[in-house]
Chain A
Amino acid sequence: MNRFYQLPTLRIDPTRKKTFTYLGKTYQGVDGDTVAAALYANGIRIFARSLKYHRPRGLYSMDGECSNTCMEVDNIPNVRAENTLLKNGMTVKAQNVKGTPEKDFMGFMDKMSWAMPAGFYYNTMHKPASIWPIALKQIRKVAGLGKLAPDFEMTGKYDEIFPTADVCVIGGGPAGMNAALAAAENGLRVILLESRPWLGGFFEYRAAQYQNETPLFQRARDLAKQVADTPDIRTFTHTAMVGAYNNNLITAFQTGGADDSFDQRYIEIRAQSVVVATGCIERPLLFENNEKPGIMQIACAHRLARTYGLLPGEKAVFSIGHDLGLEAAIDLFDLGLKISCVADIREDGQDPDLVEIMRRKKIPLLRGWVATDAHGKKTLNKVTLSTLQGTRDKEFACDLLVASAGMTPVTGPLAVAQAELCFDNHTGFFLPANLPVKMHAAGRMLGLNDALAIEASGRSAGLLAAADCGSSVDTSLNEARADLENLPGPVKGSKMVTAPVKGDKTFICFDEDTTVKNIKQAIKKGFDVAELIKRFTSASTGPGQGGIPGHNLPLFVAQYNADPDVSAKPTTIRPPLVPTFIATYAGANHDMCKRTPLDALQKKAGGVFRRIGVWSRARYFSQDFTCRDEIENVRNNVGLFDASTLGKFRIWGPDALKALQRVYVGDMSKIADGKIKYSAMCNEDACIIDDGVVIKRGENDYYFTTSTARAGAAVEWIRYHTRYDGWNFNMVNLTDALGVINLAGPNARKVLAKVTDADISNDAFPYAGYREFKIKDTIPVRVMRLGFVGELSYELHTPSSYMPALWEILEDAGSEFGIRNFGLEAQNVLRMEKCHLIIGAESEQRTTLHDVGLGFLWDRTKTDTKTVGAFALKQTEKQDGRLKLVGFKMENSDARAPRDGSIIVDSKIRGYVCIARNSHTLNEVVGLALVDESLAETGTKLEIYEDECGDERLYAVVALTPFYDPDAKRLKM
C-alpha cells in the first residue's frame, strides 16, 4: 500500500523498516507504526472476530477503545494493537478465531444471534441447578477472547515510580498543556500525563487553521516545545491514567520507548491539585452492521492518513454529526480520497466556511441524513443512507464509511475520582456537576470546540490548580476568565443515538456483542436503569468499559423509555480505566534477599542455597539432602554453622531493664554476670512469638538475640509495649552488623583452644556461660556456650567484616579434627533430635508458651512489670482443649517419616506434624507434633493423614522427649 511520506503531521519514519509476522507470514511496517497501523498498511482489514457472534472486526477508533483490535502479540493475549508500537520481530496473531480472521469456522454464530437474546445465560442456565456444571464448562469454552498457554510466562521489564507534584495534569492536549504551563509559570512542579506517545491531543494531526495561517498541528508542536522547555513540567507520554483516589492520588501506566529501561511502568502520583483535560472521543453511530470492517470513526480515518500516511480507503461515505467530520472529509479529499457523499445528522448549524469549501470541491453534502445499514459479506462494499425519519433512502458503493454520531467527553478520570456527572442538554455531554476538592476540568471535555477557547479554559484550570497550591493568581485568573468569556462557549451537540432501524444487528457494545435489540429486550423485561441493563446485557463490561457504549447506553435507555423521571446517568466505571497487564501493577521485582557475611565462602564450599525468609542461606552441603555426613560429623567430630541470621540487639540506658522485663516472660533482673539467660516473648494472648538469650554486658547494658524470623520486628515490638512509659533506653539492631558462627561437636573445644589464649576449659567457661575474648589476639568475639544442636558448642558473635577471616581460622584449626560445614537442614535435624524448638515451626499463631512446654520460663512473681502476656499466661495455664507439643516415633520401625504439615486425625482433625525425619543418629523416625491434649499422653497412638494419600494412613506413637541425650550430658561436656 502506498503511503504518504511528506505530510508534516506524520509520526512515522518511512525510511526505517520494521519486520514482523502476522499469522505466520512476514510483513513490513515502519518506525512509528502501531501494530494496527502496520497491519492496515499491509492490507489487513479484519483484525479479530467478536466475542459471541464471531463477526469480523476491524479498525474503529485508533485509540484502543474496544476489543476489535485486541490481538496476541509475542504470545501475550489481549494486547491493544492500536496503542502498541511496532517492534522488529514481533509475532502478531488474531484472537477468537478458529482458522483465520478472514475465514473463521465459528462465523456461523452470527446467524445464531436470534437464539441468544439478552440475559440468555441467566435465563437458560437458571434451572435446574444440575445443569450448572455442564453449562459452566461450555460457557468457559466460548468465553473470553485471548488464550494463555498453560506454560505461559510473562516476559518484559516492569518498573514503578512514586513521584510527587504540586499539580498533576491529565491529558496532554492543548488544554492540558496550557494548564501545565500556567501552573509552572507560578513556580509549581507539574506532572503532565498523555496517553499517546506524543503531546498535542485533538490539535496534533489536524491541518485546519489555528490562527494567522498557523495550522493546528503547528500550534500543538509549539505548545509541546514550550512544555519541553519548561523544566518544572515533567511529561509522561504514552502514559494512560488509570485510577484516581482520595487525597488526589493518581495512578497511571506508562509504556516504555526504545530508550527506556522498562517496557511498562506503574506510576503513582501524589499531587496537591489535579487538572483533568482528557478531551473527547467520538460517540459511535448506531445503525445496522455499524461495526463492519471498513467503518471507522472520523479521527481514526483522519489519523490513519495524517499520522501514519495511510489513505484509509478508496471510495468513502461519511455519516457524521460534527464539524470535525466535515473538516476531515475535506482534508482526506485533498489527500486523494474519493467521497461519494457526506451525510450530516444535523439539519443545520454547520460551520458555513466548511460547507462552502465542500461546495467548491463538489463533495456532496446531505443534511439531516444518516447511515442506516452497511453491506458486504465480510468487509464493507455498500452503505444505505436515509433521512432521519427513514422516509427516503439512497445507496452508495464504497469501501470506507466514516461514521460518528458526535463527540463525547472522556469522563473516566472524573468518574473514578467520584465526581458527579450530569447530562447537559445543550452539549449532549455528561458534564462534571460537582468536582472533588482541588480537581478541575478543562478543554474540549466541557463542550468547547473553539481552539482558543480550549486553550483559555486549560490556562484558567491551571491557574485554579496553582491557587490550590497557595499561589496568588488573582490577576492572571481574572484575565484568563475574561478571555474565555469572549470566546465561543460550548457548542450544541448532536443527541441522536440511533438511526431509524430495528437494531437487530446494531451493536451498542462491540466487546460484548450487545445490540440495540438486546437493550430493548432488557427494557421489556423491566430493567429501566442503564446500570442494571449493563449487568443484564453485559454491555460495557468488556475491556473498553464505557469507551464505546459509555455514552450511548444511558442516552438510549433514557430516550427509549421517554420517561422524564429517568434522566440519563452514566454507568459506573472502575480502575484501571484501560486494560493493563497485572505485571505492570506488580511493577518491579521487590524480592530482595539478604546474604550473610559468609555467603561467598559457603558457596565456594559447595553450599546449596535456598531462600528462607529474607535470607539466602546454605541449606545443604552436598546433594544428599538427608545430610547424613553433615549430621554425623557434628555428632562425632565438630562442625561449623553460619548462624548470622539470628536477630542481635543491644539495649541500654537507665530503663533498659524495665523494657526487657516488659517483653520477656522471665525475670530479667536475675541475669548473672558471665551467664546467658534463655527466655521467651509472648503476645498479650500468651502465644509464644520469640525465644532467645539475654546477656548483661554492663550496668544498664544488655545484648540479646531473637529468632531469625523475629529480627525485623523486635525493636518495633519493644517500643510499642513501652510507648506510654516515657522510659529512657536505647536500642540498636545489630543483626547485620554482627555475624555468628556456631562451632559445635565434641571436638569444638579443641578447635577453639587452638586459636585463643583465653581459658575455655569446662570449669572456666561452663555450659550457659558467656565470655568475650579475642581470636588470634585480633578478632573480638562474644562467645556463648549454648547447645542448640545438642552437642558441646560455642556460638561466636563477631563484627561482620571479621566473619570470613574467623571462618577460615576455625576451618584451618579444625582440619585435624575433621571439621566441616553443616547447613540449615542438618541443624534442623540435629536440634529436632534434641527437641529444641524453632518458634514458627513447632508453634503457630495460637500456640501458647504452655502448649510448647516452656511455661517454666514464665516468672509469675513479677506482677508489677506489666509483662506482655502475663495475664493470659495465668488464664491459659490450665485451659482445656489446647494443642500440645509432643514427640513421636513411628509405630512400625520400618515406616517412613510423614511429611511436615501432615494432619493427625481420628474422626476429626486432632493436630498436625510439625517436623519428622528419619534420624541417622537414632536410627529411627522421630518427629514433633502439635496434638489435642487428649492425645498428648506418652504411648498414645497417632493416626497421620497426608495430603492426597487416599485411604492410606501412617501410625505413630507419642514418645518421651528429648530423643537424643535425654540427660543433657553432651552439651555440658
Chain B
Amino acid sequence: MALTITCPICGKRNGYEFRFGGEEKGPRPAEHELNPETWCDYVHNNNCAAGVQNEWWFHRDGCGSWFTIFRNTLTNLEVDGPEETNE
C-alpha cells in the first residue's frame, strides 16, 4: 500500500491507481517461433526477482497508459533503473 508509481504522463501517483501488468519480457515471439515450452516461458513463467525488476503497470484510474518502471520487490518501492547507455 505504500507504493507510489511514476506514470510517464501523470507523474508520481498513489499505487492504488494502477494495475500490475507483469514482468517486462519483451514482445511475444511470433507464432512460428513458439513451441509449448517457449510459449509457457513467455506466458506463465516469471523470474520473480528478489530485488530490482522491470515491470509493466497500467494507469487504470488515470490516463490509461501502459508503461514500465523499476521496482525493488524487497522494499516494494519504485527505484531508478540502471543507467541508460548510449548505443
List A residues at the B interface (Cβ < 8 Å). Answer: 162, 245-249, 268, 270, 684-685, 715-716, 719-720, 723-725, 863-864, 866, 870-872, 875
Contact = CB atoms under 8 A, between A and B. Distances in A.
A723 B34 contact: no
Interface in B18-57: 19, 21, 26-28, 30-32, 34, 36, 39, 43, 56
A249 B16 CA distance: 13
Contact of B28 (A245, A715, A863, A866): A866
Contacts of A872: 39
Contact of A246 (B39, B58, B77): B77
Given A716-B19, A872-B39, A247 B64 contact: no
Nearest to A248: B2
A872 B36 CA distance: 9
Give the most central of B2, B27, B30, B60: most A CB within 10 Å.
B2
B66 A723 contact: yes
A870 B77 contact: no
Contacts of B39: 871-872, 875
A247 B30 contact: no
Given A719-B66, A720-B66, A866-B28, A685 B43 contact: yes
A650 to B, nearest CB: 15
Nearest to B58: A716
Give the most central of B1, B4, B75: most A CB within 10 Å.
B1
Contacts of A249: 1-2
B42 to A, nearest CB: 8
Nearest to A733: B64
Contacts of A684: 43
B34 A871 contact: yes
Contacts of A875: 36, 39
A723 B56 contact: yes
Contacts of B64: 715-716, 719
Nearest to B36: A875
A245 B14 CA distance: 14
A900 B86 CA distance: 61
Contacts of A863: 31-32
A177 B15 CA distance: 31
Size category of the B interface is 20 to 34
A247 B60 contact: no
Interface string B1-16: 1111000000000100
Contact of B4 (A247, A720, A724): A247
A456 B7 CA distance: 41
Contacts of B14: 162, 270
B43 to A, nearest CB: 5
B66 A870 contact: no
B73 interface: no
B2 A247 contact: yes
Contacts of B19: 716
A720 B2 contact: no
A508 B21 CA distance: 50
17 contacts: A245-B2, A246-B2, A246-B75, A247-B2, A270-B4, A270-B14, A715-B64, A716-B60, A716-B64, A719-B66, A720-B21, A720-B56, A723-B66, A863-B31, A864-B31, A871-B39, A872-B39
Contacts of B21: 720
A42 to B, nearest CB: 44
A866 B2 contact: no
Contacts of A725: 27
B30 A866 contact: yes
A245 B28 CA distance: 37
A720 B58 contact: yes
B46 to A, nearest CB: 14
Contacts of B31: 863-864, 866, 870-871
B15 to A, nearest CB: 9
A245 B58 contact: no
Contacts of B26: 724
Top-9 shortest CB links A-B: A724-B27, A245-B2, A249-B2, A247-B2, A684-B43, A723-B66, A246-B2, A863-B31, A871-B34
A471 B47 CA distance: 41
Give the most central of A268, A723, A870: most B CB within 10 Å.
A723
Give the most central of A246, A684, A724, A871: most B CB within 10 Å.
A871
Nearest to A685: B43
Given A720-B21, A724-B27, A245 B43 contact: no
Given A715-B64, A719-B64, A247 B28 contact: no
Contact of B76 (A246, A685, A716): A246
Nearest to A250: B2
Contacts of B36: 875
Contacts of B75: 246
Given A245-B1, A247-B2, A723-B66, 5 more contacts: A246-B2, A246-B76, A716-B60, A871-B31, A875-B39
B8 to A, nearest CB: 13
Nearest to A249: B2
Nearest to A683: B43
A870 B65 CA distance: 25
A248 B75 CA distance: 12
A217 to B, nearest CB: 38
Contacts of A685: 43
A711 to B, nearest CB: 14
Contact of A247 (B3, B32, B34, B43): B3
Nearest to A869: B43
Contacts of B60: 716
